[in-house]
Amino acid sequence: MKDRQLVWSNKRVRELSKNFIPVADACDRMQKEACKDADALIFQKFARQRTYKKGNRGGAQGHYAVTPSGELLASSSMGDPKVFAQLMEEALEKWEAMPKEKRLLPGTPDPAEAGKWRKVEKLYPEDGLVLRHISRDLEKARWPDWNLDYAWFRKEEARQFVPPELKAGAAHDVPFALMERLARFHLIDNVYGLNYTFFPDGSVQKARLTVTVEKIEGAKVFLQLEGETRADTEVPETIGFAPKLLGSATWDTENERFTAFEMVAVGNRWGLGNCNLRRDPTPAPMGIVFTLAGDSPAERLPPVFVSRYEW
Amino acid sequence: MNPNLRMKTPLALTIFNLLPILAASFGPANTRAQEKPADGELTQDTYEIWRDHVLPRSWELKFQKIEWRTSFWEAVCEAQEKDMPILLWTMNGHPLCNT
């Protein structure tokens, strides 16, 4: 996460990146030797190699300048933009000096090949509700102290946030199954890093969101959100989160979709997690804000636990 | 490899790199100190304070200014077609999402 602020926010690095095809991707699948997907076979040619060896982090994580054929030009996992900018310049020099037949693949790669491994991406709810999830602690244990994810709802699920009776003052509770999914997979602690621990089935004691129609103006239904959840478990990790929920949303009855959505969840979290770099299990306030996501490729990335949605 | 790259210590580099961020954190453009919630209570009165505390500042989102492709294979195909090198940022979990 430091890379977001240290490396890729740097003006020189951003400027130099225009000489490359810049890409961000997870290495979890590609770095497995058993993985024989087309992208993984290229990735495995250079993964874990470092031309700048300081600051090495685990596995194949890091920054690489490579050719389409998988030739390594430069690599580092150091969070230093000056070092990396210099590596990028060196990579461009190597690229220019390398024969074309070495830097390019012998044949034309087929973009459609990605369909073999990018399966959850196909579940993107085009006509549903996509929320951006941002988390941050009240008290910063260290920096950087925020992270993001996305939450997906299909059209028929999004509709369940809206009271069936559309008149001012009408209220209803969002079905427990939807709120339970939110509590299990999205009201979790990823402030300092990806948390592989979600709340298992049966660990959500409370998951209520009451949605009230505030007013109606033409096709716009203005909604108020209020609720609370509580989830805790001791298996596989001792973790818990008990937030209050508040927010507002606007439902468009003509297009049957939300045109605005903002919900804040605040409460004590406790426990650690798995790989999320949380070091203090003591209960402490954490906040999560959900807002409507945009439509850029990055905002269409799947939620970490989408495969658990049972879609 | 430029040998000068190896002369700096990681600690010195870290402090050096954090200077603009520290400046941004305490400078007049950043009002987090005033906006920070007093406690973990979420009420109608603390709603905006909490929301603004959690949401990232513009300087925390500068990394999004790069025209990131979101899959390595997509980048391979495009780089092959355009005869350009690839710049890959890879982490456990997608770097632009939940890492």
Res B6: pLDDT:
37
Report, in angstroms and rounded to the nearest whole number, the Rg of chain B calculated over CA atoms. Answer: 20
- Which among B62, B91, B98 has the least Cβ separation from residue A148? B98
B66 vs A contacts (CB less than 8 Å): 8, 14, 17, 22
Q: Are A265 and A120 in contact (CB under 8 A)?
A: no
A77 vs B contacts (CB less than 8 Å): none
Which residues, other chains included, contact B97 with Cβ-Cβ below 8 Å and sequence gap of 6+? A148, A149, A150, A298, A301, A302, A304
Q: Which of A88, A117, A146 is the last residue of a domain?
A: A117
Give the residue-averaged pLDDT of B75-83.
Answer: 98
Q: Are B82 and A22 in contact (CB under 8 A)?
A: no
Q: Are residues A145 and A290 in the same domain?
A: yes
Provide the token pair at B24: 């941004």
pLDDT in tens, A43-94: 999 998 988 888 777 789 999 999 999 999 999 988 899 999 999 999 999 9
Res A57: pLDDT:
75
Q: Are residues A284 and A236 in the same domain?
A: yes
Q: Which of A117, A135, A161 is the last residue of a domain?
A: A117
Task: State how far residue A214 is from chain B, nearest Cα, in angstroms.
Answer: 15
Cβ of A234 under 8 Å from any chain B Cβ?
A: no
Q: Are residues A144 and A224 in the same domain?
A: yes
Q: How far apart are CA A117 and CA A37, in angstroms?
A: 7
Q: Which of A62, A89, A117 is the last residue of a domain?
A: A117
Q: Are residues A144 and A243 in the same domain?
A: yes
Tell which of B49, B71, B81 to mutate to test the A interface (max A CBs under 10 Å): B71
Q: Is residue B2's pLDDT more than 80?
A: no
pLDDT in tens, A146-204: 999 999 999 999 999 999 999 999 999 999 999 999 999 999 999 999 999 999 999 99
Here the ipTM equals: 0.95
pTM over 0.95: no
Structural domain range at position A64: 2-117
Task: State how far residue A257 is from chain B, nearest Cα, in angstroms.
Answer: 23
Q: Which residue of B lies nearest to A15 if distances are taken between CA atoms? A: B66
User: Is the Cβ pair A297, B69 closer than 8 Å?
Assistant: yes
Give the residue-averaged pLDDT of B21-25.
Answer: 46
B99 vs A contacts (CB less than 8 Å): 1, 26, 147, 193-194
Q: Are residues A89 and A169 in the same domain?
A: no
Annotated domain spans of chain B: 11-82
- Which among A51, A103, A109 has the least Cβ separation from residue B77? A109
Out of A108-117, A225-234, B27-36, pick the least confident: B27-36
Give the residue-averaged pLDDT of A13-19.
Answer: 97
Closest to A46 in 3D by CA, of A14, A91, A6? A91
Give SS3 for A111.
Answer: helix
Q: Is residue B13's pLDDT more than 80?
A: no
Give SS3 for B69.
Answer: strand
User: Is the Cβ pair A23, B82 closer than 8 Å?
Assistant: no
Q: Are residues A138 and A103 in the same domain?
A: no
What confidence tier does A275 reach under pLDDT thresholds 50, 70, 90? confident
Q: Which residue of B lies nearest to A5 if distances are taken between CA atoms? A: B60
User: Is the Cβ pair B86, A301 closer than 8 Å?
Assistant: no
User: Is the Cβ pair A95, B75 closer than 8 Å?
Assistant: no
B82 vs A contacts (CB less than 8 Å): 21
A290 vs B contacts (CB less than 8 Å): none
Q: Are residues A213 and A294 in the same domain?
A: yes
- Which among B59, B81, B88 has the least Cβ separation from residue A23? B88
Q: Are residues A68 and A175 in the same domain?
A: no
